[in-house]
Amino acid sequence: MMGYTKTAILMAAMTALFMAVGYALGGGAGLLIALAVAAGMNIYAYWNSDKAVLKMHNAQECNSQVHPDLQRMVHQLADDADMPRPRVYVIHEDQPNAFATGRNPENAAVAATTGLLNRMTREEVAAVMAHELAHIRNYDTLIMTITATFAGAISMLANFAIFFRGGRNGGGNIIAVLLVMILAPMAAAIVQMAISRSREYEADRVGAAICGNPLWLASALEKIQGFASRIDYDRAEQNPQTAHMFIINPLHVHKRDKLFSTHPNTQNRIAALEKLAHEAGIGAAPSSRSNPWG
């Protein structure tokens, strides 16, 4: 219920922002146009934002020919957790990472990069997928996915301001520039306000319970953080409004990336998982195998 409440508040705020910008650019007529656009965006975001995010990252759905082992693993984890089976996607990127999307557990998807599959052990991959299933179970994906869509729409507003005012006099150009200066960082601020960092700790905790060993996830987080800080993820850099959806922030190339830093400190997350393992009497480290399907 909390996820739906936060989503409704976010949609209302975005509608108000669209209308304000529409009025600033075109008066009463601009306000009406913006209201129509916002209404369309709200409907589209609720029903199709998951598809839009998957398309942004060129995700390919798994089946009997495309990474069937990953699909079987996720479905088994979902069955063990007594959850609906999500759709499973793979993203052809070398940076190891993953995210979940969808408006509810019955309409959800998880996506993993080929870098994750190639660079992690099977246990670590299972732990990462369990973390993403936890986001689905907790209804985090609804607010995460719609936030990504609206953050992108705010950037679209900035571009629209340039187009609308670009051909006018110097005063109009100044207004357009000011709108861009305000709206661009606002996109990042909306993401940070809408997304609570505590959700990652909770997804770590629930994910550890789903996969059965907190140390598998701790090991995966440490590795992913190391690789993500060195390996570029071009599609994520082109769509920074989706960064909050990943298990580890995929951005590191541009200065603006710090604006979209919505993840808690990785070492703090690892410490919390190690504490869980200690309390459960678990001390075995994950396998050192580099191929999760070997």
Residues identified as active-site = 132
Phi, psi of 256 (to 5 degrees): -65, -20
At 90-132, the pLDDT tens digits run 999 999 999 999 988 999 999 999 999 999 999 999 999 999 9
Is the whole-model pTM more than 0.85?
no
One-letter amino acid identity for 136?
I
Domains and CATH numbers, the chain: 2-148+194-279 (3.30.2010.10)
Bridge partners of 61, per DSSP, are 89
Enter the DSSP assignment of 230.
T
At 185-205, the pLDDT tens digits run 565 565 555 556 788 999 999
| pLDDT at residue 289, rounded to an integer | 42
Bridge-based pairing of strands 107-113 and 87-91 is parallel
| CA 271-276-280 angle, 5° bins | 145
**Rg of the chain's alpha carbons, rounded to an integer?**
20
Bridge-based pairing of strands 87-91 and 60-61 is antiparallel
At 140-170, the pLDDT tens digits run 887 777 776 666 666 666 666 556 555 445 4
